[in-house]
Chain A
């Protein structure tokens, strides 16, 4: 694995406000890092520092080995960036806008034509290439920004909320596009849409109040949920009371909870183990018919809350 982005003790203070306060992580080729956090947590500020738009108060950023403070031009040449809100030159058409970007990126002649066509194709904006950007819908504007960021096939891609404001179909298309590119790039995506953790990311960094609160895989993030590997189960031909007693008596079960609003129970395993198979075996061993049985994933919204709001954990 080659390290493409290395961030060390990065901080940005605006007066007394510590927007980013000692963030460190790195991203390798092939990774899609989901950068999560509540609004105002410092996601955008961190991205602005990685792309060299904002100078850090302290700390270093290296992109493909280039230090963003010592050699900002090389850093910028190696990354594609979609800023928050996908700003563009509103009075230009996507066609002339992308040609401008290609020129600035040093792409010439036939390559320029090819790069613009391919970026437009991949971002699916070929039908609006000659309409002024200001007349385009939010979804198209976002995709013009996306086309701009991938035009030069950069080894590093920084996307600030790439699916914000898109409809479900457009979200799906953008995610497909990102997944297609994931293999040979290092990608950072900021989002607060938790479903994207699974749809897109191979790793997650959660920040809150300018500090990293979590760094790990989506599975590790889920496993922090109390619902992780819990099993919801119900049987038809036995009284609820007796069933609950039976479930509680099993040695791999930590806790049993009655489901609200429906029959059945939620069974929490000991040590976060996977217990679905064992459980169904035991139930069938008793000669009961299983009515419903499904394993739960971790609940990300709950994990997200407990990580980013330290107070929520104690009050729970």
Chain B
């Protein structure tokens, strides 16, 4: 695995976001939604506390909708335009390509997340928040975004159609967020063995993000997201290999 190749692919992919208005539209909508959810849904002011919990706690729900929009193009577009034939006949391995694209999408998400800095300034102006907690939550949210992105990237490789990639990624992301919720558990509890039900509920993003959004970084939560990313990206590489020429 050559780090340089990952970097070159990431660079190309990242600037690809800005070659069209997509990046700007996305960032603006992301900022509008985070602002809306923080102030209206999360009651930022009414809570009267100097922290960004209302901001971070909404992230799983925002990501369900927005991350698939970032990830849908990663492989679907490449397959549709045929440029995958070019990419896969350059001297790069499929893992380098998968990682390069994933990191580009992740960096883009990180940028969008960072652009929420006025909120951080606001909360520091109004009170004395624990900035360590905010930093931890920020990193945790970014890690969770990586989880969503790895799902989206993998799904994007199974189809040439970006809309299909978007919809399927959204549904799977939703399942991963809701896995801890009653309806999902009930759906499986009827026929699946108890161990499977337990596994499913422990797979919920919400379960693992809840502590993080309060600034508590537990090694197990981090490990959960990292291994989730690794598994989805591994599957992503296998799918690209198997379906690149279809």
Contacts and interface: CB of A to CB of B under 8 A. Distances in A.
Interface of A: 48, 51-54, 73-74, 76-77, 79, 81, 83, 85, 87-92, 96, 100-101, 103-106, 132, 148
Given A48-B245, A90-B81, 13 more contacts: A52-B89, A53-B245, A73-B91, A73-B92, A74-B91, A76-B90, A83-B85, A89-B12, A91-B16, A100-B12, A104-B9, A104-B91, A105-B90
Nearest to B80: A87
B19 interface: yes
B35 to A, nearest CB: 30
Contacts, number: 66
B90 A101 contact: yes
Contacts of A89: 12, 16, 81, 83
A51 B89 contact: yes
B86 A87 contact: yes
A48 B82 CA distance: 13
Interface in B85-133: 85-86, 88-93
B214 interface: no
Contacts of B86: 81, 83, 87-88, 148
The 9 A-B residue pairs with the shortest CB-CB distance in the complex, in nearest-first order: A87-B82, A91-B19, A77-B91, A76-B91, A83-B85, A103-B8, A87-B83, A51-B89, A81-B89
Nearest to A77: B91
B229 to A, nearest CB: 24
Contact of B82 (A81, A83, A91, A132): A83
Interface string B12-31: 10011001100000000000
Contacts of A101: 90
B91 A53 contact: no
B201 to A, nearest CB: 40
Most chain-A Cβ atoms within 10 A of its Cβ — which of B83, B86, B90, B245? B86
Contacts of A91: 16, 19-20
Given A91-B16, A148-B86, A100 B8 contact: yes
Contacts of B82: 83, 85, 87
Contacts of A100: 8, 11-12
Contacts of B8: 100, 103-104
A96 B88 CA distance: 19
A87 B90 contact: no
A127 to B, nearest CB: 21
Given A53-B244, A89-B16, A48 B90 contact: no
B5 A104 contact: yes
Contacts of A96: 15
